[in-house]
Amino acid sequence: MAEDRTFGALLRQFRLAGDLTLPQLAAASGISDRAISDLERGVSRNPRARTVEALADGLGLGSDDRAALRAAARPVAGLVVASGLPLPRPVLDFTGRSAEQDRLARWAADRPSPPVVISGAPGIGKTALAVRAARACPADRYFFIDLHGLDVAPPDPMTVLRRLLRAAVPGLRAVPGTVAEAAALWHARIREQRCVVILDNAAAESQIRPILPPGEGPAVVLITSRRALSGLDGVRRLFLDALPADDAAALLAAVIEDHDAASDDDVRRIAQLCGNLPLALRIAGNRLLSRPGWTPRDLLGRLVAAERRLDSLVAGDLELKAAFHLSYRQTSGRARRVLHRLATTGEPGLTLARERTAVDELVELSLVRRRPDGGLEIPELLRLYAGAELVHAQRNFMSPSWCGFPPW
């Protein structure tokens, strides 16, 4: 079966020889059936090495057939692929989000493919999902750029365009002097290219609006932000919530690997106390692994007390409170007051129009979520954080650093 053939034809030949349907190979390899179909039909070419190995594993290929599949996947001689802006290192123990991955794969296969806004609370795993989705997209170039949306002074559109253009146009001597001219050149460069662009951690709509392609071409654009970026039109939206309980337990188990004392019940209880939040789960797992004398029960003992839980979710330079604080400091004084009230009473007290506006601000920042019945939800770990901030605010109410509005 090792004759010289295109990758797609050879992949299909191996699949049919193994009596596998597309869904069966997708389940065995972890590659979506849409992506496999695109490869077989030649819509996608030159898959990444990780994809080839996953397909070979799913097909159960021997050494000779595996070598033939690898050879067919190599780029055509003479094809020049520019580096762009490389993607971050993938999360090797990425767990769950299968429905979200399938949706992103379907959207990426559309031509044209509207930009996708991936939003959600701090620590929910937006960047990890975007990078994983990007790696599953057949592309000749990747552009990943951190927009530092939580910084006090995020980069402006011209700064972002300048960096993108220098990566897209090797040897570019001068970037056009205006945002409109730079955006036009950027759009022209990616209009006919199979590329994936990740605009990570966007600050606001105005920061990224000039960068978004005008609507034609094969480029795939993924935007991540804690904000909903509801002012953008012509985009698709994917809001991430906490992981389902089974996926959260599986992620924690993957982080701590084969910890001898980790029972399924302990893992599930730890995951529950972490709010099934990916960042909290990784912090908890890393903290357990870095304490050789600890058992999961030791960690549980520290997490079960609500007043100590956030202080226990620290591992090296990873701190859950710090992730929450970056969003909290962007809220207005009235939004903080409503957040404090939600944290302590569960009721925002929506008697004034200005408080309804504050709730909208919190929803936009992904700090609270509206239920289908119109009520509001605040995740447990964020509730604990907001409650602690309320205590701090009450202690410092007379300090000049307070925002100017009573915290109660």
Helix axis angle, 22-29 to 49-59, nearest 10°: 110
pLDDT recorded at residue 157: 96
* Angstrom distance (rounded) from CA 252 to CA 249: 5
- pLDDT one-digit tens code per residue, 123-170: 999 999 999 999 999 888 999 999 999 998 999 999 999 999 999 988
Percent of the chain with pLDDT over 90: 56
Residue 370 burial (CB count, 10 A): 13
Tokens for 303? 């997490």
pLDDT at 56 over 60: yes
For 18, 40, 133, 250, the CA distances from 47, given in Å and listed in that order, are 21, 11, 14, 28
Does the structure show a pLDDT above 90 at 197? Answer: yes
Q: 115 and 188, same structural domain?
A: yes
Quote the pLDDT of residue 3: 43
**Pairing assessment for the beta strands 314-315 and 236-240 based on DSSP bridges:** unpaired
pLDDT band at 70 (very low <50, low <70, confident <90, very high): confident
Compute the average pLDDT of residues 197-213: 96
pLDDT tens-digit map of 78-94:
333 445 899 998 888 89
Q: Could you tell me the pLDDT band of residue 260, with boundaries at 50, 70 and 90?
A: low
Are both 58 and 129 inside the same structural domain? Answer: no
- pLDDT of 336 > 80? The answer is yes
Least confident of 37-51, 181-195, 223-237, 316-330: 37-51
CA 382, 386, 300 angle in degrees (round to 5)? Answer: 50
List Cα–Cα distances, 12 to 20, 31, 64, 135, 267, in angstroms: 10, 14, 17, 21, 41
Does the pLDDT at position 101 exceed 70? yes
Can you tell me the distance from the alpha carbon of 382 to that of 122, in angstroms, rounded to the nearest whole number? Answer: 9
Domain membership flag for residue 404: no
The parent domain of residue 15 ranges over 7-73
Residue pointed to by tokens 């399938």: 102
- Counting the structural domains of the chain, the total is 4
Orientation angle between helical segments 33-40 and 98-109, nearest 10 degrees: 30
Integer Cα distance of 15 and 376 in angstroms: 49
187 with 223, same domain: the answer is yes
Q: Do 302 and 335 share a structural domain?
A: no
Please tell me whether residues 233 and 250 are part of one structural domain: no
Residue 397 has a CB neighbour count (10 Å cut-off) of 11
Tell whether 226 and 270 lie within a shared domain: no
Average pLDDT over residues 21-38: 87
Token output for 65: 């057939």
Q: What span, in angstroms and rounded, lies between the C-alpha atoms of 128 and 278?
A: 10
Last residue of a domain, one of 316, 341, 359: 316
The mean pLDDT of the chain is 87
Which 3 state secondary structure label does DSSP give 376?
A: strand
Q: Which amino acid is at 385?
A: Y
pLDDT greater than 60 at residue 353: no
The pLDDT value given to residue 407: 45
Of the three residues 191, 224, 240, the one that is the final residue of a domain is 240
Beta bridge partners of 200: 146
- Helix, strand and coil percent figures for the chain, each rounded to 5: 50, 10, 40
pLDDT per residue as tens digits for the range 235-247: 999 999 999 999 9
What's the pLDDT band for 4 if we cut at 50, 70, 90?
very low
Same domain, 105 and 227: yes
CATH number for the domain spanning 232: value is 3.40.50.300
Residue with token string 């029960």: 297
Q: What is the DSSP letter of 85?
A: B
Name the pLDDT band for 5 (thresholds 50, 70, 90).
low
The predicted structure's pLDDT at residue 138: 84
CA-CA distance, 100 to 240, in Å (whole number)? 9
Name which of 160, 173, 229, 219 is nearest 194 in CA terms: 219
